[in-house]
Amino acid sequence: MKFGLRHMRYFLAVAEELHFRRAADRLGIAQPALSRAIQHLEAELGVVLFERSNRNVRLTPAGQEFLDGTHGILNAVDHTVENTRQVHAGGIGTIRVGYTDFAIAGTLPSLLQTFRGKQPGITLQPHHDVTTLQLEKLAAGVLDIGFVTGPVSKPDYEQIEIQQDQLVCIVHENHRLANRQSVRLDELANEDFIHGPPREWEHFYAHLMPLCRSAGFIPRIVQEAFNSAGILGLVASGMGITILTESSLIAARRGLIPIPIETTAEPLSTLAIWNPQSLSGSVARFTEFLQARMAQA
């Protein structure tokens, strides 16, 4: 097949006008060029598409068949071009979003909801993962943007803080500290702690451990759980206490008491992080949205 879309557009014009000169006018070319192009097309197909006399032009049955196909094809081309440009510009597309327990317990749900309202053509595909895993998936191109626990040092990536959480100590209602208004970290030195696996909760530990260390102790972790819900469940069962963010209590169980911790330390920050070299228009729209939203707050 050595014909192209040009031939098909020319054919369509002739099939609609049933008149070479008028079709040529409509196409903005000279009539002989059109005659030639149709001849070329017919030779290429090995099929006579028009029955011409000096007085009129009409489609052969094969020409009619080709016309039917041509209509669909030219429409599909326009449609595909339009869609491709939309995806490029970010009007439609899919964004693979990673999030941590802390992010999803905080402001992320309202962020996503607002964005979906503004960009209904963009599908958000959420992936629940700890920070470390999200960073690996970003690098592998499996995720487009991550909502992770900061700080993160990745010079090639852009990031923006979307949330700050004060740490709170969470105890069972029967615990000796349950009715305290606040607590100092050093008072927790001899408690049994429940937390996530150190390798996976690496970024949270990186925030918490220095605080404990300057309070003069290293927390004794007696039990591990894989996520906040699991940790809170174990705390509720009376196995120990934990330190998490305020917002983690959103879906908390009865019988758990949050106690603010007296500290001058920075709160725990949750960041959006993404690769600015990504060629996804949708992601660009999303990050622009995030930046505008954070600037105004």
Contacting residues toward DNA, per CB under 7 A: 2, 4, 6-7, 19-21, 28-33, 35-40, 52-57
- What gap in Å lies between CA 154 and CA 274, rounded to an integer? 10
- What gap in Å lies between CA 245 and CA 290, rounded to an integer? 22
What is the helix (H) or strand (E) element at residue 180, kind and residue range?
A: none
Q: Is 282 in the site for a second copy (CB under 8 A)?
A: yes
Structural contact between residues 135 and 159, judged by C-beta atoms closer than 8 angstroms: no
Tally Cβ neighbours within 10 Å of residue 290.
19
Min CB(57)–DNA separation in Å: 4
Question: 145 in the Ramachandran plot: left (φ > 0), alpha (ψ -120 to 50) or beta?
Answer: beta
- Residues of this chain, 8-47, that bind a second copy according to CB under 8 A: 45-47
Partner that binds at residue 276, options a second copy, DNA, none, CB closer than 5 to 8 Å by kind:
none
Q: Is 60 in the site for a second copy (CB under 8 A)?
A: yes
Min CB(49)–a second copy separation in Å: 8
Q: Is 121 in the site for a second copy (CB under 8 A)?
A: no
Q: Is 77 in the site for a second copy (CB under 8 A)?
A: yes
Min CB(45)–DNA separation in Å: 14
Q: Is 251 exposed, middle or buried (0-12, 13-18, 19+ CB in 10 A)?
A: exposed
User: How would DSSP label each residue in 81-122?
Assistant: HHHHHHHHHTSSEEEEEEE-HHHHHTTHHHHHHHHHHH-TTE
- What gap in Å lies between CA 29 and CA 45, rounded to an integer? 23
Q: Is 5 in the site for a second copy (CB under 8 A)?
A: yes
Structural contact between residues 95 and 284, judged by C-beta atoms closer than 8 angstroms: no
Per-residue binding string, a second copy, 236-275, x by CB under 8 A, is ----------------------------------------
Min CB(98)–a second copy separation in Å: 17
Min CB(59)–DNA separation in Å: 12
Q: Is 295 in the site for a second copy (CB under 8 A)?
A: no
> Smaller CB distance to a second copy: residue 129 or 144?
144
Q: Measuring CA to CA, how many Å separate 82 from each of 7, 70, 79, 91, 121?
A: 21, 18, 5, 11, 14
Terminal CA-to-CA distance of the chain, rounded, Å? Answer: 59
> Smaller CB distance to a second copy: residue 62 or 189?
62
- Count of residues in contact with a second copy, rule CB under 8 A: 40
- Which residues contribute to the site for a second copy (CB under 8 A)? 1, 3-6, 45-49, 51, 60-66, 68-70, 72-73, 76-81, 83-85, 87-88, 93-94, 279-282
